[in-house]
Structure 1
Amino acid sequence: MGTGIGARVARKEDARLLSGQAKFVRDLKFPRLLEAAYVRSPLAHGRLKSVTIPEKYKDRVFTASNLSDVLPIRPESTLPGYKASQQYPLVKDKVRFVGECIAICVAPTRAEAEDIAEQVIVDIDPLPPLVNASDAKTRDAPRLHDDWDDNLFLTTAFDGDLEFAEKNATVVIEREYNTARQCMNPMEGKGTLSYWDDKAGQLVVYTSTQVPHLIRTGIAQYLQMDQGQVRVIAPDVGGGFGYKCVLQPEELSVSWVARKLKRPVRWVEDRREHLVAGANTRQHHYKLKAYADDRGKLLGIDAEITVDIGAYSVWPFTACLEAAQAGGNLPGPYALEGYRCKTYSVATNKPGFTPYRGVARPGVCFAMELTIDAIARAVGREPADVRRENLVPGSAMPYTNVTGKFYDSGDYQHSVTEAARAIGLEDFRKRQKEARTQGRFLGLGFGTFTEQSAHGTKVFAAWGLPLVPGYEQAMVKLTPSGSVEVRSGNHSFGQGLETTIAQVASEWLTVDIDKINVLMGDTGMTPYSTGAYASRGMVMAGGAVSKAAEELVKRIKIHASHLLQCDAKDVALKDGKALSGAASVDFADIARAWYLRPDQLDEDVDTAGLEVTQGYKPDIDTGVFTYATHAAIVEVDPETGKVSFEDYYVFEDCGRRVNPLILEGQTYGGAAQGIGTALFEEVLYDPSGQPLTSTLADYILPGPAELPHFRLEHSETPSPYTRHGIKGVGEGAAIAPGGAVLNAINDALEPLGVELNELPATPHKILSAIMDADRPEEVAG
């Protein structure tokens, strides 16, 4: 196996990340560097009347009037009925959320820039704020955007046939579900540093992003520059989770000031800025009606989904990706014929909505998984059995579901069987019954999902986005010393992509990954890529590296055949050497001959050389589907509302595993974020739109003491449509915990007549539900 695909090797990047040698935006040093701080709106909604700048700071403070040549961020969509918002990098006329940027101040240090910002006076005429989507949807609500006739970015409808379900259902379940607004909280916040390079004639932008090539396009578009005049470099990035895959207004204003002053300018987001003004996510409301027979077989779903988008549409994913994903993914892994869904993307006075790990699927998984358990209770059956019988069977693969999702491979039912076995379902029911006699409330919950990964051009185009992914490109090169260099326009921000794409190259070239140098994230030095999002990195970047490495192997063999005096088809590669019978030649000798001693090669040697760039797309454009089942056992204290984990098990299938060690880390991290969604994290606002969770003392993240010991097992069902059978896995583990944990809580509190349908399940909400529950007499007494 060596260090190729399937090898359990440590991450290449950890050597620098763990020793303090990494270079983040904050670590960069430039002469004459200025630091930036922003004057931000103190109100959620109002008309900006004036900005008063002290005379001595006129050359250090810039407002929208200065940036008159910068276009507003206006993501367009081809979807019928979509309304585009305009977000100026600095507020021009109207503030629309607390923390929106009004002015940028620069000084030699951040502290001095903040001192200047405090002396800038803004005069804002308050307007009524829209703090929740239900109020914003009403016909007489104030307009967030003056040229709109309502506050809806978009309304969509999937009008499926529910006639059979309505006529034949013996069980009808109606529920409303809510998921809280969240912040992403990567370890490193946003950050950007720009300067003008006179020699190259370029604006050079170092920025903490997942999508450097896309950000180059956005900066050039809105600063009205040719893309050849812009170079974007993503250095080491300390986490992203989707937060860093959109164009940030600060990237535009910092870049404009740097070009204006001909000096490097940097801004790094602090934690309060992130919690107040950073993009938000996750806030959904579901009205769901499920039709089933007397065994719990799903016949149809009728749903209405409202997404609280915030004030602005983000570029390039728009305001409507979340609702589009929610409506299309609500059926999840379940086989049902009847489906109808309407979605509303609503504008409110909050920061804009950015894709976050799982994009809509944590919400739809939560809603569906709680509905499955509600059906199971209604028909008096074990939820695991009802869940398993409703899943798409492995024998039906490949399977096209009711919304057109093409499930390429897998055995969803098997994942539930394995989870039930590993969690000890039968034994647990006995222990649960005994614990209830002792006044202890134990519960077991399952959550099953599919993760659409590496979906491509047609899928994103159908969502109406202004930019859609195409062919991923990569370059693989044999250097003059015989080592290997890989260049990818994708980027690594914690998911281990430097290591895994090196493993793909190692698989073909037979050299250890220590001899493979991976360069990513620099638009001036890498092939074009739309970047890292949608769990596409390993499928797409890995696929492109695989294709380029395969071609490089052919060229190495041709060059080796000249040195070995044999036919190229008789050459094999092993351990960084070319072999023919007993004879061998090192890669270093092959490279030296091509680059430095071509006189050793025949006159008719292939002149294509030892540098290969290839483009790649999977054989299908609809994406490939990872799937998993999570199972959680919890104990709920009815006196305090505290939830404690007894066990947490994950059974996952992501196709062929490139690096099991990295995969486990991704799963643990994703599940930890999902538990944050389930139990802790929520962005709260008062009625005036003021954020109430502006510090980490208010916005609660789970730590080691709050997390369970995760147990994890895998199966491998390779996709027949991707190189090496690989599927994406980066987002998956964050999807299921909300459903699994809430089902466990509801299972625990069933004797008390409690059914929670809201995330997060905080102690306050649990205690409120217990007090409000209609308890059975024997329990209440």
Structure 2
Amino acid sequence: MQSGIGARIPRKEDARHLKGKAQFVGDIKIAGTWEAAFVRSPLAHARITAIHKPQGAEARVFTAEDMVDLAPIRCESTLPSYKVSDYPALAQGKVRYVGECIAICIAPTRAEAEDLAEAVRVDLEPLAPVVSVEQALAPEAALLHDDWGDNLFLTTNHAGDLTEAKAKATVVIEREYETARQAMNPMEGKGVLAHWDHKAEQLVAYTSTQVPHLIRTGLSECLGLDQAEVRVIAPDVGGGFGYKCVLQPEELSLAWVARRVDRPIRWTEDRREHLTAGANTRQHKYKITAYADDTGRLLGLDADIWVDVGAYSVWPFTACLEAAQAGGNLPGPYDLGAYACRTYSVATNKPGFTPYRGVARPGVCFAMELTMDAIARAVGRDPLEVRCLNLVQGAAMPYTNITGKFYDSGDYPAAARAAAEMIDSANFRARQKAAAAEGRHIGIGFSTFTEQSAHGTKVFAAWGLPLVPGYEQAMVKLTPSGTVEVRSGNHSFGQGLETTIAQVACEWLKTDLAQVKVTMGDTGLTPYSTGAYASRGMVMAGGAVSKAAEELARRLKIHGAHLLQCKPDEVEINDCAVTNGIASASFAEIASAWYLHPDRLPDDVNTAGLEVTEGYKPDIDTGVFTYATHAAIVEVDPATGRTTILDYVIFEDCGRRVNPLILDGQSYGGAAQGIGTALFEEVIYDAAGQPLTSTLADYILPGPAELPHFRLGHAETLSPYSRHGIKGVGEGAAIAPAGAIVNAINDALSGYGVELTQIPATPHRVLSALLDAQDKQKVPA
């Protein structure tokens, strides 16, 4: 059975998951473990005047006053005008969002800990809440951070010259767009179990994270411990999506308490905590002016982008990564001559902003793709034609766009046309007309994007972040029995990385996947990695494993050739063995010679051994770019506002496909999340900053009944800058759905003069847009 790159095989990790043998934070058993619960703020903005611990339980309740030796989470940036927010593990002085941690309570069981938390009384002096960008920027707005003087974390300005574009433009499109705040909802919420290991003299933290080595750094800095005194272990992780790639205040306070009381302490996030106090994402506002000619050719783009980033900067990505990504990625796959953009990272009384699958690009793709359709309507051309006119052409690759993104390879118009062919757009207007005769309203929409993956040192350094990724490291080893061990500091949390990096090792070592054992997520056992985010796992970890496996294969040939009494250039590796014609030395025989019977080896044997650690990053530091076009056909019921997806097509190019089965799963899952963004998901706050979507009855996630049968198509343009031509793909499918679906809704309702510009496109918003359009038609000219 083929096990290397390109093999369509089930994930290694599925066996334990399907049999209930996986081990998450909640499954770990350590003698003497107590459970924790948090006292959380009931108000969005208030001063803490007093905290009253229950009499007799003072030793089991901890507040900021107890943690005087615990430093706050402080995320610095080198960007000009950036403002720092100290994010305490437990609130100090005042609270800045509903759900902020005020105290941590511990008890033998979670129920007892929650009862204790209920008994803690907190005296709060209410302050005026700031719950929107408009409120936060108003002249007399209440300040979240008193020493700032305003509520802006950061403002950026890409000051392009639009003079020529304005002079040549015959079409000017002005639009405002809004995207809703979302929660990420991984199947497993956050969780951490910490204890002090007296034998190792280490704090050991089992935590549900994508970035164990980063969490070790963050914990050590805040706790005042040397990194050698901290070991972080990420066991099985039930989804992350970016939510689990930052240092959480709960991780920090729980680690402090575990060390103070000298017993294991665990906390696992429940769904209500996640929906009300977990980090939020996605909430953008856009004001865009596009300048085009009569053909629909885009000449220039002017934009303002406001991002509602909540109360605090998260470590290590700050509160400003979202806006930085938005400003840099708004042009997307399009070739335009002039661009100006200003971004505003605005503080409000909401949970802090965490990177979420796609980081800003679902918002910018939505805004850009609706703008492209608006241009097409203005010039009377088909939206697909206008896209293909404006997309970077295949002959121009590699291409550096107007914001400095280096598009390494591909053919964007070809992908758009392939998606159109798959969904049969050529015959759609006849189908639409036939549906209209039946009283049905159907529409078609397209959305094209690029996904920057595995971007590296210079890119992150340019964003001013306090921690910058460098070379990814991995170790590949032949064990004494002849099996292969792979160790990576990256982590698998549902994206199949445990399988795909094993496949990369198999590509060089020609062994069966079952003979490759993968260890990830343990800072005590694995080489350093900044972890799994930014679609970097397969490119970076896969690249490092590839380099290490290639070197191990070279050493195996040397040892095998000696056992076969021939030269290394006369042998090959096949089926777990070094071969020379019909003669062979199995991996087990070579391993036995190295580890157990060195007398079989020459005196001048290479002492480097059969354990190889290598570091890797792509030949370019700007990342390698996946791209895709999504196409959707929807039906809209104007009586109810309900949108039904009739057909959905994805045509994607992510370079070399390591495991097509896993890639399909990534596309399905990402598109499902994108459909949630487009039609369902919205964190809603009232005027007092109270979250109104605190259960899954209020916060709507798409389920099987709401999802279409996705149809996938692929091109395979290899990147010339990464090993095996691989590009990252983990975030891509979540980026495009909102643009495709809302464009399709607008097409379906074009006869009513409806143009939706806000997501999610809920039935209420669709009906409101229909009523607004009717009102406008009634107004006399």
Task: After TM superposition, list the pairs within 5 Å mapping 1:122-137 onto structure 2.
Answer: 122-137=122-137
> How many angstroms does 1:150 deviate by?
0.5
Give the Cα separation in 1 of the matches to 2:194 and 2:212.
14
Amino acid at match of 1:5: I
Q: Secondary structure at the match of 2:59?
A: coil
Give the Cα separation in 1 of the matches to 2:602 and 2:415.
57
Q: Secondary structure at the match of 2:185?
A: coil
Amino acid at match of 1:674: G
Task: Name the structure 2 match of 1:657.
Answer: 657
Give the Cα separation in 1 of the matches to 2:577 and 2:226.
45
1:753–1:775 Cα contact (<8 Å) kept:
no
Task: Name the structure 2 match of 1:762.
Answer: 762
CA, structure 1 residues 777+311, in 2 after alignment: closer, same or farther (shift >3 Å)? closer
Give the Cα separation in 1 of the matches to 2:589 and 2:467.
44
> How many angstroms does 1:775 deviate by?
7.4
Q: Deviation per CA, 1:248-279, whole angstroms, max 9, x where unpaired?
A: 00011110000001100000000000000000
Task: Name the structure 1 match of 2:523.
Answer: 523
Task: Name the structure 1 match of 2:683.
Answer: 683
Task: Name the structure 2 match of 1:231.
Answer: 231
Amino acid at match of 2:257: V
Amino acid at match of 1:613: T
Task: After TM superposition, list the pairs within 5 Å mapping 1:246-645 onto structure 2.
Answer: 246-645=246-645
1:475–1:614 Cα contact (<8 Å) kept:
yes
Over the matched positions of the two proteins, sequence identity in percent amounts to 72
> How many angstroms does 1:582 deviate by?
2.4
The unaligned stretches of length 5 or more in structure 1 are none
> How many angstroms does 1:433 deviate by?
1.7
1:577–1:587 Cα contact (<8 Å) kept:
yes
Task: Name the structure 2 match of 1:208.
Answer: 208
Give the Cα separation in 2 of the matches to 1:687 and 1:777.
33
Give the Cα separation in 1 of the matches to 2:649 and 2:674.
13
Give the Cα separation in 2 of the matches to 1:438 and 1:483.
64
> How many angstroms does 1:569 deviate by?
1.2
Q: Secondary structure at the match of 1:622?
A: coil
Q: Deviation per CA, 1:42-84, whole angstroms, max 9, x where unpaired?
A: 0000000110011211111000011110001110000000001
| Residues 1:707 and 2:683 are matched in the alignment | no
Give the Cα separation in 1 of the matches to 2:251 and 2:554.
43
Give the Cα separation in 2 of the matches to 1:377 and 1:221.
55
Task: Name the structure 2 match of 1:140.
Answer: 140
Task: Name the structure 1 match of 2:750.
Answer: 750
Task: Name the structure 2 match of 1:695.
Answer: 695
CA, structure 1 residues 691+775, in 2 after alignment: closer, same or farther (shift >3 Å)? closer
Task: Name the structure 1 match of 2:240.
Answer: 240
Give the Cα separation in 2 of the matches to 1:17 and 1:750.
47
Amino acid at match of 1:110: R
1:295–1:379 Cα contact (<8 Å) kept:
yes
Q: Secondary structure at the match of 1:459?
A: helix
Give the Cα separation in 2 of the matches to 1:757 and 1:393.
28
Give the Cα separation in 2 of the matches to 1:772 and 1:321.
36
Give the Cα separation in 2 of the matches to 1:154 and 1:777.
42
Give the Cα separation in 2 of the matches to 1:583 and 1:706.
58
> How many angstroms does 1:18 deviate by?
1.0
Task: After TM superposition, list the pairs within 5 Å mapping 1:168-183 onto structure 2.
Answer: 168-183=168-183
Q: Deviation per CA, 1:565-605, whole angstroms, max 9, x where unpaired?
A: 11111111001010112211110000000000001111111
Give the Cα separation in 2 of the matches to 1:441 and 1:295.
28
Amino acid at match of 1:331: P
Amino acid at match of 1:96: R
Q: Secondary structure at the match of 2:443?
A: strand
> How many angstroms does 1:774 deviate by?
4.4
Q: Secondary structure at the match of 2:74?
A: coil
1:751–1:776 Cα contact (<8 Å) kept:
no
Q: Secondary structure at the match of 1:251?
A: helix
Q: Deviation per CA, 1:395-415, whole angstroms, max 9, x where unpaired?
A: 000000000000000000001
Amino acid at match of 2:202: Q
Task: Name the structure 2 match of 1:98.
Answer: 98
Q: Deviation per CA, 1:287-314, whole angstroms, max 9, x where unpaired?
A: 0000000010000000000000000000
Q: Secondary structure at the match of 2:158?
A: strand
Amino acid at match of 1:79: L
Amino acid at match of 1:680: F
Give the Cα separation in 1 of the matches to 2:331 and 2:267.
42
> How many angstroms does 1:439 deviate by?
2.1
Q: Secondary structure at the match of 1:449?
A: strand
> How many angstroms does 1:435 deviate by?
1.8
Q: Deviation per CA, 1:687-737, whole angstroms, max 9, x where unpaired?
A: 000000000000000000000110001000000000000000000000000
CA, structure 1 residues 14+164, in 2 after alignment: closer, same or farther (shift >3 Å)? same
Give the Cα separation in 1 of the matches to 2:645 and 2:254.
46
Give the Cα separation in 2 of the matches to 1:571 and 1:109.
61
Amino acid at match of 2:39: V
Amino acid at match of 1:230: V
Q: Deviation per CA, 1:518-572, whole angstroms, max 9, x where unpaired?
A: 0000000000000000000000000000000000011101111111111111111
Q: Secondary structure at the match of 1:306?
A: strand
Give the Cα separation in 1 of the matches to 2:134 and 2:359.
22
> How many angstroms does 1:425 deviate by?
0.9
Give the Cα separation in 1 of the matches to 2:552 and 2:777.
75
Amino acid at match of 2:209: T
Q: Deviation per CA, 1:626-666, whole angstroms, max 9, x where unpaired?
A: 00000000000000011011100000000000000000000
Amino acid at match of 1:393: Q
Task: Name the structure 2 match of 1:114.
Answer: 114
Moved over 4 A (4+): 774-778
Give the Cα separation in 2 of the matches to 1:105 and 1:516.
43
Give the Cα separation in 1 of the matches to 2:343 and 2:549.
44
Amino acid at match of 1:734: A
Give the Cα separation in 2 of the matches to 1:673 and 1:487.
31
Task: After TM superposition, list the pairs within 5 Å mapping 1:83-94 onto structure 2.
Answer: 83-94=83-94
1:301–1:339 Cα contact (<8 Å) kept:
yes
1:509–1:576 Cα contact (<8 Å) kept:
yes
Task: Name the structure 1 match of 2:73.
Answer: 73
1:751–1:775 Cα contact (<8 Å) kept:
no
Q: Secondary structure at the match of 2:675?
A: helix
1:327–1:341 Cα contact (<8 Å) kept:
yes
1:306–1:346 Cα contact (<8 Å) kept:
yes
Give the Cα separation in 2 of the matches to 1:192 and 1:583.
53
Task: Name the structure 2 match of 1:42.
Answer: 42
1:753–1:776 Cα contact (<8 Å) kept:
no
Q: Secondary structure at the match of 1:305?
A: strand
TM-score normalised over the length of structure 2: 0.99
Q: Deviation per CA, 1:340-379, whole angstroms, max 9, x where unpaired?
A: 0000000000000000000000000000000000000000
Q: Secondary structure at the match of 2:358?
A: coil
Give the Cα separation in 1 of the matches to 2:651 and 2:527.
36
Give the Cα separation in 1 of the matches to 2:492 and 2:259.
28
> How many angstroms does 1:434 deviate by?
2.3
Measured on the aligned residues, the alpha-carbon RMSD in Å equals: 1.1
> How many angstroms does 1:686 deviate by?
0.4
